[in-house]
Chain A
């Protein structure tokens, strides 16, 4: 539901830096839809050079930053996400940067936060969550997508290794490895071989350990834990 502020309220000025045209226009449109008059998209940028230049010129309150921006048109990204965050803040120190990334590993999130980012979202979040993040960081807070926050807390607690070990123990580990390789529960049952019911039980255990409800979320968190491709 769009906010309907009094006409005197100054909108939050947002710059969107995203190289994929489809996502860039969709985010701009959805943000305007979610925030109504409380948000103003001042510019959308397709390259890092453009984002740096426009940040300096327009001094946005909030920057939504795709971490893998090409340097210029047709030239791939050469800087790490955290370096881009720092570069943007050198152009406008008061800007609040929210990072958007497909691969939101805990290490990357932490590096970006240390570089001065105030928010971090995985791609494919709902428009309402983007708007929530913008409002929170514009007000001086920090917003990290809840599953990412949970990963960071785990890392801070030094318990990632314990979670990895628990996930990969015994048959649960066998099931998980095949699941991450794209096998369906029926295919896993056939490959191991064990009953489909037993596979379902192991998948339920994995979901419980990770606190997730879908298989795609298992994949995402296991990637963050460094289990994928091990």
Chain B
């Protein structure tokens, strides 16, 4: 579970609104977000919490970018978790960052399931 107090995993109405009502733009955004989070050279690096210690500035940049992307995709739970991770990395609180980072895979899986259920044909 991501950050359960912060809202739904995915808000399909807002995702469509953010895409100007275009399901094509929305789907591109969703695919782009998941690609970013999976890519071991980009957002995927955040899933390896050991990197936080050696690459704190780079991980901060990635977490910051990820916040912008998931916000554009209307994923409030993941956004809150990534924001908290960004704050922890910014504060060099690596123990907290690690705790938050360990929650990322489950949060991403959750949002992926919700998105798949919301747009089975996409």
Contact = CB atoms under 8 A, between A and B. Distances in A.
Interface of A: 19-20, 22-23, 26, 29-30, 33-34, 68, 76-77, 102-103, 123-124, 126-127, 178-185, 187-188, 214-216, 219, 223, 228-229
Contacts of A68: 61, 64
A98 to B, nearest CB: 16
A182 B76 CA distance: 11
Contacts of A183: 4-5
Interface string B21-43: 01001001100110010000000
B20 A23 contact: no
Contact of A33 (B17, B20, B81): B20
A208 to B, nearest CB: 18
Given A184-B4, A214-B7, A229-B91, A102 B71 contact: yes
Quick one: which of B18, B68, B87 has the most chain A CB within 10 A? B68
A64 to B, nearest CB: 13
28 contacts: A22-B28, A22-B29, A22-B33, A23-B69, A26-B72, A29-B25, A30-B20, A30-B25, A33-B22, A76-B57, A76-B58, A102-B64, A102-B68, A123-B71, A124-B74, A127-B20, A182-B4, A182-B81, A183-B4, A184-B4, A187-B4, A188-B5, A215-B76, A216-B7, A216-B76, A223-B87, A229-B91, A229-B93
Interface in B1-26: 2-7, 17-20, 22, 25
A126 B26 CA distance: 13
A216 B72 contact: no
A216 B2 CA distance: 13
A23 to B, nearest CB: 6
B29 to A, nearest CB: 6
A124 B18 contact: yes
Interface residues of B, number: 39
A25 to B, nearest CB: 8
Chain B contact residues: over half helix, strand or loop, or mixed? Answer: helix
Interface of B: 2-7, 17-20, 22, 25, 28-29, 32-33, 36, 57-58, 61, 64-65, 67-69, 71-72, 74, 76, 79-81, 83-84, 86-88, 91, 93
B18 to A, nearest CB: 6
Q: Which 5 A-B pairs have the closest CB atoms?
A: A182-B3, A124-B71, A22-B32, A184-B4, A127-B20
Given A102-B71, A214-B76, 8 more contacts: A22-B33, A23-B72, A34-B20, A127-B18, A180-B84, A181-B84, A182-B6, A216-B7
Contacts of A126: 17-18
A123 B4 contact: no
B28 A26 contact: yes
A103 to B, nearest CB: 8
Contacts of A228: 84, 87
Contacts of A215: 5-7, 76
